[in-house]
Amino acid sequence: MSGHPRHPGGLPRPEHLPRTEALLLPLADRLLPLRPVEPGRPGGPGPHRPPRRPRPLRSAAHQVRAELRHAGKVFAAEALKQHRTMFGQPLVVASMLIWPLLQLAATYYTLHPIAAGSAAAARWPLAADPAKLLGFLATGALAWAFFFSLVQSAWNFSYERTTGTLELLFLSPAGRLVLMLANGAGALLQNAWLLTCFLGAAAFGFGSLQVAGCWTYPVVLLALLLPAMAWGALLNSLMVFSRDSTFVYTVLDDPMWFVGGVRLPVFALPGLLRVFGAALPLTGSLAVVRGALLERQDLAELAPALARLAVLCVLLLAGAVLALRLGEARAQRTGGLRLV
């Protein structure tokens, strides 16, 4: 067939085919007409599918709800873990009330005879009134319970390194900052709820509160809760990358209540200590709590202290995020869980 003339497309003409093929070709054309192959049959182009519609974009509100549900699960898991490991025993629950009350009584009976019977009452008139002095010290004890429970929580969080559970926490899909906040919030609620309820009931019972309105109570609660959580997030972020957290625990024990104005007014401290105290969220929270509960300050008078607390919360959270990123970057680079 190589010698036969061909069509321009390369096929031989029918008259140049062998005789048998020339006879069978018309018959094959009649019996096997060429039909377009249906989609989905062998040799066809495949099943016909409608064009895929673009997936609608999730709204910002839906994403926020999903993030909040995820954060709620992390908070609940951390609170349940701490309740099972540290706060589940009845003796521990009793100590959360008895120990702060013993400290409050010891401070009152130590400070009142000295302040009321000396020249200090001229500079600090509140010390001469037993009811006002007790309210001053009780608000200090309440705020101290909020913030020092976060120090204890961060100190306990560092033990995740030795128990081998820190790797599991970091391998989990939980957000790092959410995890730090959840650890602090779980310890805060379980440490401070009993003392808060007792002191609140006692203050109502004795009528020692001087408030401008019912809006005062949620403002006071937020002024304690939000800075304490930001404070706990920063401490957790620092201590989780620390091999020895005892030093930080010791520094934040007695020095913190002294410069924070828990048992003494801030104006009685030297100038340098007042600067250190202003850097602590405990000092700002105490200013709001005492102004709102004991001095009948309205929202306009509390606004500067609340603004300073908001700025301080943002700085604490930014410091927590920075510490987490530096620690994780160093861990990926060197394999060691250290901040510096």
Q: Are 165 and 208 in contact (CB under 8 A)?
A: no
Would you place residue 97 in the very low, low, confident or very high pLDDT band (cuts 50, 70, 90)? confident
Q: Is 144 buried (19+), middle (13-18) or exposed (0-12) by CB count in 10 A?
A: buried
Least confident of 75-79, 154-158, 192-196, 274-278: 154-158
| Sequence letter at residue 184 | G
Q: Are 323 and 237 in contact (CB under 8 A)?
A: yes
- Taking residue 14's Cβ as centre, other Cβ atoms within 10 Å add up to 10
User: For residue 283, what pLDDT is reported?
Assistant: 92
Would you place residue 312 in the very low, low, confident or very high pLDDT band (cuts 50, 70, 90)? very high
Q: What is the CA radius of gyration of the chain?
A: 37
Q: What share of the chain is helix, strand, coil (3-state, %, to 5)?
A: 70, 0, 30
Query: Residue 335: pLDDT above 80?
Result: no
User: For residue 288, what pLDDT is reported?
Assistant: 93
Would you place residue 160 in the very low, low, confident or very high pLDDT band (cuts 50, 70, 90)? confident
For residue 340, give both structure tokens: 């510096």
Q: What whole-number distance in Å separates Cα of residue 245 and Cα of residue 249?
A: 6
Q: Are 198 and 94 in contact (CB under 8 A)?
A: no
Q: What whole-number distance in Å separates Cα of residue 148 and Cα of residue 173?
A: 29
Query: Residue 21: pLDDT above 70?
Result: no
pTM of the model: 0.73
Tell me the pLDDT tens digit for each residue of 23-66: 666 666 665 555 555 555 555 555 566 667 666 666 778 888 88
- Its sign, for the CA torsion 146, 151, 154, 156, is negative
Q: Is 319 buried (19+), middle (13-18) or exposed (0-12) by CB count in 10 A?
A: middle
Q: What whole-number distance in Å separates Cα of residue 18 and Cα of residue 284?
A: 106
Tell me the pLDDT tens digit for each residue of 175-213: 888 888 888 888 888 888 888 888 888 888 777 788 888
C-alpha 13: how far from chain center: 83
Q: Which of 87-91, 149-153, 245-249 has the highest mean pLDDT?
A: 149-153
Question: What is the H or E stretch that residue 111 is in?
Answer: helix 90-116
Contacts of 145 (CB under 8 A, 6+ apart): 100, 191, 192, 195, 196
Tell me the pLDDT tens digit for each residue of 257-307: 888 888 888 888 888 888 888 888 999 999 999 999 988 898 899 999 999
